[in-house]
Amino acid sequence: MDASLIERLTAWRRHLHAHPELSREEVETSAFVRAKLTELGIGFEAGIGGHGVVATLRRGSSNRAVGLRADMDALPIVEATGVAHASTRPGVMHACGHDGHTVSLLGAAALLKDDPSWSGTVHFVFQPAEEGAGGARAMIADGLFSRFPMERIFGYHNWPGLEAGTVAVHSGPVMAAGARLDVRIEGTSGHAALPHQTRDPILAAGHLIVGLQSVVARNVDPIESGVISLGRIEGGLASNQIPSEVRLRGTSRHYTHGTGQIIHDGIRRVAAGVAAMLDVRIDVEIVPGVGPTINHPAEAALAVQAAAAAGLAVRRDLPPAMTGEDFGWMLEACPGAYVWIGNGPGGPGADLHNDGYDFNDAILPAASGFLAQAAKGALAEG
């Protein structure tokens, strides 16, 4: 990649970082992507599954097609990086690097536009609403794979703690499926000094919190992986009153649909038991978020070849992560692979979803190069 393109990509990335938008609100981000595609001379369709954009390049006589995907949305986090290009929108921040992913895909489009060595069709998928808002499924429902047919699809996530520019390729699971948990415990309020006249939802919440930790420990095969984490508890207004309601919210994670079913059945069973034991009502809502991100074998092998062709180091020994990524829904609909590209040192202030995180601009050439090579390799195979 020449220095002038690197300079442009860096400027684009910092512009997006300074102007983040939350899931389903990516109006300006989508417009920015469309403007840069127009500058590059690449046609596109907009409004796919919300604010999604799909750009297309065609060259030569081959009827083969491949997709490359990046996400565009930011998070509701107050930025604390102190960088010159910090968010100009209070309470909204690109704390996961989607600004870098978006610009990497624009970089891949620029590389492929000027590369006469390939033949076929490449679709560049700019996805909105990845952060738990169903953007991948919305694009699929809006005809992503029927309107823009492709044999394979590839994507990546930057990965703090992995050496900058190194590509990690997994065989099988990459990231976990996740569901949102919302538990409402209804009891009977009353004076804290007269607990026998109440049905205490706080006591029930305590038993439920402890009991839920047995679901994975005593129901999931130890060879498999699963997580139940409660991250929010609400209830009570006064220290001398037993309240009428407590609400718990959290998440579950797993790598297979079978394990997910075991976990969710267990959550409901434990809740029913606590409700019966303490004579309260417990309603459990489990809302699926993302599916497991699981690489297809042939496409994982192609990803390794693409990294090598781009001159990048490859790791095959990293375990999958319990973080979620809705690219998994795309991999259920179309063969493909999802890789991690090292963002450099991790740790306090440098990890994903941290208020001090910033995408490493130095990996833009590596990320764009990998995506371009993945497309070329997929179109050339066979």
Amino acid at 380: A
Same domain, 144 and 220: no
Q: Residue 221: which CATH number? A: 3.30.70.360
Element housing 185 (H / E): strand 173-186
Give the number of other Cβ atoms within 10 Å of residue 228's Cβ.
24
Is residue 89 domain-shared with residue 30, that is, in the same domain? yes
Residues 159 and 183 in one domain: no
Predicted pLDDT of residue 348: 87
Other beta carbons within 10 Å of 192 = 16
What gap in Å lies between CA 377 and CA 337, rounded to an integer? 13
The DSSP line for 40-91 is: HT-EEEEEETTTEEEEEEEESS---EEEEEEE---BS-------TT--SSTT
pTM of the full structure: 0.92
283 shares its domain with 301: no
Distance (Å, whole) CA 81 – CA 350:
9
- Determine the angle formed by the axes of helices 257-278 and 201-219, rounding to 10 degrees: 150
Based on the fold, state whether residues 200 and 329 are members of the same structural domain.
no
- Identify the domain boundary among 266, 290, 314: 290
What does the pLDDT read at residue 1?
Answer: 86
Percent of the chain with pLDDT over 70: 100
- Which residues of the chain have a pLDDT value below 50? none
- The verdict on 100 and 223 lying in the same domain is no
* DSSP notation for 297-350: HHHHHHHHHHHHHTT--EE--PPPEEEE-THHHHHHHS-EEEEEEEEE--STTT
What's residue 289's pLDDT? 84
Q: Nearest Cα to 15, choosing from 106, 78, 76, 80? A: 106
CATH number at residue 306: 3.40.630.10
Where a domain ends, among 226, 260, 290? 290
Please give the pLDDT value at position 268.
98
Specify the number of domains making up the chain: 2
232-255 pLDDT, tens per residue?
999 999 999 999 999 999 999 999
Residues whose CB is less than 8 angstroms from the CB of residue 150 and which lie 6 or more positions away in sequence, other chains included: 65, 66, 67, 121, 123, 334
Alpha carbon distance 118, 148 (integer Å) = 19
Phi/psi of residue 17, nearest 5 degrees: -60, -35
DSSP string, 186-212: E-B-EETT-GGGSB-HHHHHHHHHHHH
Q: What's the confidence (pLDDT) of residue 381?
A: 82
Q: Are residues 26 and 161 in the same domain?
A: yes
Residue 183 structural domain: 176-290
Is residue 64 located within the same domain as residue 87?
Answer: yes
The verdict on 192 and 157 lying in the same domain is no
State residue 382's pLDDT score.
64
pLDDT at 312: 98
Instruction: Choose one of 257, 290, 323: the last residue of a domain.
Output: 290
Residues 166 and 219 in one domain: no
Residue 78 has a CB neighbour count (10 Å cut-off) of: 11
Tell me the C-alpha to C-alpha distance, in Å, between residue 163 and each of 185, 278, 337, 343: 46, 52, 20, 7
Dihedral, 48, 54, 60, 62 alpha carbons, nearest 10: -50
Is the domain of 112 the same as that of 208? no
Q: How far apart are CA 13 and CA 343, in angstroms?
A: 14
